[in-house]
Amino acid sequence: MAAAPGPAPGDASAALPPPLETRRGRAGAMKLTRKAVLARAKAAELDNVRKLNCWGSCLTDISICRELPNIEVITFSVNSISSLEPMSQCQNLSELYLRKNSIPSLNELFHLKNLPRLRVLWLSENPCCGPDPHRYRMTVLRNLPNLQKLDNQAVTEEELSQALVDGEEITAPPAKRNLENGCPEANESSTTECTMEPKSEHLNFTLEETNKIREQLGMKPVPRDKFSSFLPRETDGSRKKRNNILNAILLLMKELDTEGLEIIHQTVGKRLQALQKKELLEER
């Protein structure tokens, strides 16, 4: 089943956690801090953290994972993570959700090969998946043969056997990157943000998110050719902020009853009318 732009089953099953407090490092990297981990996991010490959900938090630096020896379930989907090395010592890790990140190469799987309890991995919609889904799946299974589920699809014995033939064995880690901030070394041309997705992906993601909200509210979807008229002109920073807000709305809507959804429906309708009226006035 194809993954939707929003949270997927198992991928963000918990209710929306409190806003994540991160720290901006070099080259605009968003670093997951000790304080944020403890707050999200509701734990007193890092050794006590068993589950961590940081879905859609703009993270690039997850080096704190090196200090989570007892972590069992990690949800890092919809971020900008580019290296799996910080999780290489999480010996109790059994489920890892990394959908929609910036993992550049399947060589990053090298860092997961020595995790004896890893049974569930969600890695789809990363650059490392490449254009050939069969080669991708076979390579993952050849290097992680203990997986029971990959990308929300059960692993079969036949696939494991075929992976020995069609999959590529990874015997060395990827070329060393700047793991402090999860991005390549910064240079003079680097932007202040570690932006991993092309602008077209931002547009598609936002349109899909918007129409998903409208569908749940009983409203008609916005055509792609008219989508820009619903939005003010934005900088990359404000676009990212809006995407994060949309993500939060989609998660929260699952917790609302009929009365709550009706209130949102009315509020959204009034807001859209105001924006459309403003647009008409500007065109005159």
Q: What is the pLDDT of residues 83-132, one digit of tens each?
A: 999 999 999 999 999 999 999 999 999 999 999 999 999 999 999 999 99
Q: What is the rounded distance in angstroms from the CA atom of residue 163 to the CA atom of residue 138?
A: 4
Q: What is the pLDDT of residues 213-257, one digit of tens each?
A: 666 666 677 676 665 555 544 455 666 666 667 666 776 766 676
Question: What pTM value is reported for the model?
Answer: 0.58
Q: What is the rounded distance in angstroms from the CA atom of residue 247 to the CA atom of residue 37?
A: 20
